Chain A
Amino acid sequence: MSPNQAAAPHELSPPDADQPSERAGQATSRGIGQGGRPRTLWAWACLAPTFAGLLVFNYWPLLQTMYLSTQKSDLFGRPAGFAGVDVYAGLLTDPAFGQTLLITLVFVVLSVAGKLIVGLALAVPLAQRMRGTAFARATVLIPMAVSAAVAGLAFRAMMTPNTGILDQLSLQLSGETAGWLTSPTVAMVSVAMVDVWTSIGFVTLLFIAAIDAVPLEVIEASSIDGAGWRHRLGSVILPLITPTLFFVLVTQSMQAMREFTVISTVTGGGPGGATTTLVFEIYQQAFGGTANYSAASAMGVILLVIIAVMTAVQFRFLERRVNY
């Protein structure tokens, strides 16, 4: 019934091997392949809407972004003369931009570390399918249904100075307000925390699926050997779900790199720019009062490069797994 089962025979083959066998025959007769040309016309017609969309809203903008990043920008964002790599050079030597990259890095590290730790802390016991945990299992998945904007505004209310429950909590526990939204250091923790919350259903689901896939015999064998739960977790379960841990690490790093909504709704990049990450800065440059499209485009290209490196790592890794 499930697509995963239905697709099973192909799932283990590398991408190039999963083409139908007849295609291999076609490839050998490539010399006379021209005769088959009209037969593919309908296929190109089917691909036309996809490529029309990609052309206008992906390929072209990518080229235009690169072009804009080499142009000066006037007050209205119009290109105002060739600047070469000046925009990039200006950015990369600007301490303020260095600060933005640093803030982005801190946010990504806090957010991803939080997701791995909280996700495992929820998934390991949930995967036991113990009686009485149905409520917990259904509940921890609910954040998947909640948009980042909704979560951000909900947490912002909880973090409101004086009246928010989290602010009150810190006041009661430590005698002083934590400054969830007003202290530069704490605000960074606040946005990372909200980002963890928005992804926790998804991450937990992935971990549960991975732990479920660990063969029962392996776990039982380690039980018979007298391994305690701590040993079983550290030496048996975690090593066996390394692929999923890595997948979550890479995809969630990319997601955190690109997070805008949480920062916009919780802190608005503040206080004093303390939570202004790269993506938030792109938005600010282009639409936050100024129309500095050239700087925004150059930052976009820098973002692209960072994401491309992350994706390359992910694909290399996936490939290796698929080939097993």
Chain B
Amino acid sequence: MSAPLRRGTTAQVVIVAYLSVAAVIVIFPLLYVVFASFRPGPAITGQLSDLVPTGFSLEHYVAAFARAPLVQQMINSTVVTIAQTALQVITALLAAYALVFGRLRRPGLVFGLILFTMMVPGETILVSNFLTVRAMGLFDTVVAVFLPFMVAAYNVFLLRQSFLSFPKEIHEAAQVDGVGRMGFLWKFLVPLSAPTLMTVTLMSAIAAWNGYLWPLVVSESPSVRTLQVGIKILTDETGSDIGTPLAGVVIAVVPTIILVLLGQRFLAQGLTAGASK
């Protein structure tokens, strides 16, 4: 793809060394937290030995689980992630299907109405959504955490883009052959656009798992909070004890690291879609 550097090995060694050092610096905050969370006694000391693992103890994890309902918060985060992702993927699939194959009279206008919401920052409508959710009697419930995010315009955008590449004749032919409207979506479009669907699912799931401001605003009881908010509260409550919240931090980061490493390929495609049109 790109130009191989045809130069002396010295230059190559310098570049590889530079990149390796840069990579270690980039990743260092995570290593630091992992080492600290397993360190016996005070998690961080300010000594150079903080840079490397010293000893192994689960005491900070034990303290973290004792201090906050982390298991419950993990369950909450999982429920929120699954529900929010499912809602976002299903609504986007249906909407994109209708936009591309629905023979609407003004599909551009309908699409514009959906896309327009990408421009409205969630922070602008934060107060209003809070009032709506409270009026619905959903304040301090797990449902309130994911329900307002049931539609993601960007997912509609990506799936529509993918569906547009299908010849319209296939749709007509399938109708003639007696494949139902929904049958065409599930049996043809979904399998054929699997890579895009995978991208959309992964991006939605990571965003849901990592949500912070809205869950912070809409939950109050420790047993309703998600993990991201839970570990922040853990920090506030434990004051100068840093080991306990850092153990929580490690617990919160493991699932997304796994998701990103497994889905690297799909994520790269989805994230660069907007830039490399």
* B-binding residues in A (CB < 8 A): 1-4, 6-11, 15-16, 18-23, 26, 30, 33, 36, 39-40, 42-44, 46-47, 49-51, 53-54, 56-62, 64-65, 68, 77, 121-122, 125-133, 135-136, 139-151, 153-158, 160, 162-165, 167-168, 197, 200, 202, 205-206, 209-214, 216, 219-220, 223, 243-244, 247-248, 251, 257-258, 260-261, 264-265, 279, 282-283, 286-287, 293, 296-297, 300-301, 303-304, 307-308, 311, 318, 321-322
A125→B15 contact, CB < 8 A: yes
A300→B126 contact, CB < 8 A: yes
With contacts A147-B212, A282-B123 known, is A4 near B269, CB below 8 A?
yes
Interface-central residue, B6, B101, B103, B117, by most chain A CB under 10 Å:
B103
> Does B79 interact with chain A (Cβ within 8 Å)?
no
1/0 contact string of B1-43 vs chain A (CB within 8 Å): 1111110000010011011101110110110110010000011
- Nearest A residue to B226 by beta-carbon distance? A149
B128 contact from A6, A9, A65, A287, Cβ within 8 A: A65
A145→B272 contact, CB < 8 A: no
A150→B253 contact, CB < 8 A: yes
Bound form: Cα–Cα A297–B16 in Å: 51
Contacts of B125 in A (CB 8 A): 57-58, 61-62, 64-65, 300
Other A-B contacts than A162-B46, A257-B121, 13 sampled, CB-CB below 8 A, are A10-B161, A47-B98, A56-B148, A61-B128, A128-B15, A130-B12, A144-B260, A145-B261, A146-B256, A149-B232, A282-B123, A297-B128, A304-B121
A157→B242 contact, CB < 8 A: yes
A148→B212 contact, CB < 8 A: yes
With contacts A6-B165, A7-B165 known, is A303 near B128, CB below 8 A?
no
A43 contact from B103, B229, B277, Cβ within 8 A: B103
B102 contact from A1, A40, A132, Cβ within 8 A: A40
21 residue pairs bridging A and B, Cβ less than 8 Å apart:
A4-B273, A43-B104, A44-B102, A50-B92, A50-B95, A53-B151, A54-B117, A58-B117, A132-B20, A141-B260, A141-B264, A143-B26, A149-B231, A150-B231, A153-B33, A154-B246, A157-B44, A163-B242, A205-B271, A244-B276, A282-B127
> Does B187 interact with chain A (Cβ within 8 Å)?
no
B249→A150 contact, CB < 8 A: yes
Contacts of B151 in A (CB 8 A): 49-50, 53-54, 57-58
> Does B72 interact with chain A (Cβ within 8 Å)?
no
A154→B30 contact, CB < 8 A: yes
B5→A136 contact, CB < 8 A: no
A145 contact from B120, B228, B231, B253, Cβ within 8 A: B253
B212→A142 contact, CB < 8 A: no
B168 contact from A20, A39, A307, Cβ within 8 A: A20
Contacts of B19 in A (CB 8 A): 122, 125-126, 133, 136
With contacts A3-B195, A206-B271, A209-B275 known, is A145 near B97, CB below 8 A?
no
Bound form: Cα–Cα A322–B277 in Å: 7
| Interface majority SS (helix, strand, loop, mixed), chain B | helix
- Nearest B residue to A285 by beta-carbon distance? B127
1/0 contact string of B81-122 vs chain A (CB within 8 Å): 000000100111011011111111101101001100111111
Interface-central residue, A10, A26, A58, by most chain B CB under 10 Å:
A58
B195→A164 contact, CB < 8 A: no
B118 CB → nearest A CB, Å? 8
A9→B165 contact, CB < 8 A: yes
With contacts A3-B199, A149-B232, A150-B252 known, is A216 near B117, CB below 8 A?
no
Interface-central residue, A56, A153, A257, by most chain B CB under 10 Å:
A153
Interface-central residue, B19, B95, B242, B246, by most chain A CB under 10 Å:
B19
- Nearest A residue to B100 by beta-carbon distance? A20
Residues of B43-75 whose CB lies within 8 A of A: 43-47, 50-51
Interface-central residue, A43, A65, A213, by most chain B CB under 10 Å:
A43
B103 contact from A21, A36, A311, Cβ within 8 A: A36
A135→B228 contact, CB < 8 A: no
A170 CB → nearest B CB, Å? 12
A62→B120 contact, CB < 8 A: yes
